[in-house]
Chain A
């Protein structure tokens, strides 16, 4: 390691163009292992208990509301005619989109050999899985007769009836479930070697057993590593495709309909941009505090990496902004009274403030990241990232509900007011999300140790190339 250090000092001209190191202060592999494992092995900090109590409470309240909704009727929500979908599908799209950024960061950046994403990817994947869990809640429960949800699955039944394969909602069922499966697999498979490390370091029998089972008896033999690496590439490839597919399918919920404000071919791209935008915002929202709470991670989650995520956010935020403008242009250019009306009402109707909030945030906040000063000031980035997600939620509502409020016949135009059940269910999903995330940082390595160590300077053999 010292050798490689000297190498760098000998060639100062390179240091100008040299990529910033992934791990600061020339930390070695042993240090990395200890740093990461210490989070799991060390004593549970107080803030963790505090955090999980709060998030757990919200989650419990949310689940209670869902139960009440199921036994009483969808009417306990504020949904009505014409807003047959409101916060339920809004939150579904919000969460499932947020999930995409996780897969995007880990899979796509892995395939493109973006080493900077190594320390971020594990947390991002976790975020993906948990976000999909939150998203999956809604399609399951928002229907009128939950107990017949099995009608959605193509199973032979005594009615002799089959689902309608041309319905975007049925596509959702398959898309979301496969997305959940694949992203969990991706997340879990990535953890196997690290779980093995925890198994080896485990002091108590229970931990040893649990991590032992979880790590499937991983030894790290050359053969295992060979299969493991090719699996990881394959999974990354599949996930990258899946991200795009799932977004497209979810977008088709809107795009295939006839409702002005929904019926637009740009929606897949629209949703993808928004997805990665809100997802990278969430990554920042999660990692910046994590880094602050666990000082040992400061060398692993480096400012330059966070800055790159911020740049990603800026790029995607700009894409979203482009779509906003493009949508309005299309509405105007279409010359179709209904299209124009829909967008006119979006900003004049009773629910205009949703759209206005959405645009104010999403058009301004990400643009602040053009300035390095802002982008690198982590506390500020943290706040702005949260704002971005707020804006994204409003965008989802704007798309889903305000479009419904003003469709073809003005006679059926309406308004929407959320009920307390709507609100508690929504906060409940947030609670579920954070509960799961807290459990995650407490019980599994928050970043991929093997990838990190493999990427350390001097981790790879110097003369391996010569062989054959």
Chain B
């Protein structure tokens, strides 16, 4: 098992075993094999969204849309109160003889719409960033040079060493059978190194 090329510091605990595939099909196939072998802590890295991968991995549906809905609803409430309270309670004044209350609601709509869309959009992006585990400046996977340099060139797969029934041998065998290249044992890096 020491024939596996390794990266990071050998004196640090093993983080995961990584492998590289050329096509999304190979990646998915390998993933299925590992799953059948009972591995759960497996993650896939692709240069672009690969259709079906998420389904294969049985990832839950994204909650993002609910976040956006929430953001939008808050925005509506905020925008309406921001306009109705001053013009009716704090600073009521005759302008153009228009009603300021609900009778004059149409004049408040544009700002409500604008704010709703804005806050909705902010919620969407913020949500994506947080749910996606971002922002972070480093990641153990980046200790793996091949991955760090060429993430855009191939389809990568990593089996976490923290997986319940993790065995370095078995993992590398399965990966080799699945036709993976550059199977590497990824260790954590020295805390003090650079």
Contacts and interface: CB of A to CB of B under 8 A. Distances in A.
A322 to B, nearest CB: 26
Contacts of A162: 86-87, 90-91
A236 to B, nearest CB: 10
B56 interface: yes
Interface of A: 29-30, 33, 154, 160-162, 164-166, 168, 170-171, 174-175, 177-179, 181-182, 185-186, 188-189, 193, 196-197, 200-201, 212-213, 216-231, 234-235, 238-239, 241-242, 245-246, 248-249, 252, 449-451, 453-454, 459-465, 467-468
Given A245-B117, A462-B25, 8 more contacts: A166-B104, A185-B122, A217-B139, A220-B47, A223-B43, A235-B121, A450-B47, A459-B48
Contacts of B6: none
B49 A450 contact: yes
A246 B132 CA distance: 31
Contacts of A219: 45, 139, 141, 151
Nearest to B106: A166
Best-buried of B64, B110, B129 by chain A (most CB within 10 Å): B110
B128 A200 contact: no
Contact of A227 (B128, B135, B138, B150): B128
A468 B136 CA distance: 34
B48 A193 contact: yes
Contacts of B52: 460-461, 464-465, 467
Contacts of A227: 62, 64, 127-128, 131-132
Contacts of B44: 221-222
> Across chains A and B, which 3 residue pairs bring their CB atoms closest together, nearest first?
A464-B52, A178-B118, A216-B135
B1 interface: no
Interface residues on B, range: 35 or more
B28 interface: yes
Given A154-B82, A166-B98, A217-B134, A222 B150 contact: no
A154 B80 CA distance: 12
6 contacts: A161-B91, A181-B121, A197-B151, A217-B135, A221-B44, A222-B44
A243 to B, nearest CB: 10
A468 B53 CA distance: 12
B12 interface: no
B115 A178 contact: yes
A178 B137 CA distance: 29
Best-buried of B82, B96, B125, B153 by chain A (most CB within 10 Å): B125
B47 A175 contact: no
Interface string B112-154: 0111011011101101110111111111010000001111110
Contact of A186 (B56, B121, B148, B149): B121
B114 A245 contact: yes
A170 B125 CA distance: 26
A303 to B, nearest CB: 25
B62 A226 contact: yes
Nearest to A171: B110
Contacts of A226: 54, 59, 62
Contacts of A461: 23-25, 28, 50-53
B76 interface: no
B177 interface: no
Nearest to B86: A162
Contacts of A30: 153
Interface in B76-115: 82-83, 86-87, 90-91, 95-96, 98, 104, 107-108, 110-111, 113-115
A249 B110 contact: yes
Given A238-B121, A461-B50, A468 B55 contact: yes
Contact of B43 (A222, A230, A462): A222
A249 B118 CA distance: 15
A168 B133 CA distance: 41
Given A166-B107, A464-B28, A189 B125 contact: yes
B124 A235 contact: yes
Nearest to A189: B125
A168 B87 CA distance: 16
A230 B57 CA distance: 17
A216 B110 contact: no
Nearest to A225: B49
A200 B83 contact: no
B65 interface: yes
A99 to B, nearest CB: 15
A214 to B, nearest CB: 10
B68 interface: yes
A212 B137 contact: yes
Contacts of A164: 95
Contact of A228 (B49, B90, B91): B49
A168 B111 CA distance: 10
Contacts of B137: 212-213, 217
Contacts of A245: 110, 113-114, 117
Given A219-B151, A227-B62, A450-B47, A242 B117 contact: yes
B155 to A, nearest CB: 10
Contacts of B132: 218, 221, 223-224, 227-228
Nearest to A182: B121
Given A216-B129, A464-B56, A230 B62 contact: yes
B147 to A, nearest CB: 8
B46 interface: yes
B91 A160 contact: yes
A229 B50 CA distance: 11
A249 to B, nearest CB: 5
B49 A231 contact: no
B115 A174 contact: yes
A152 to B, nearest CB: 12
B146 to A, nearest CB: 11
A201 B111 contact: no
A185 B117 CA distance: 12
A92 to B, nearest CB: 17
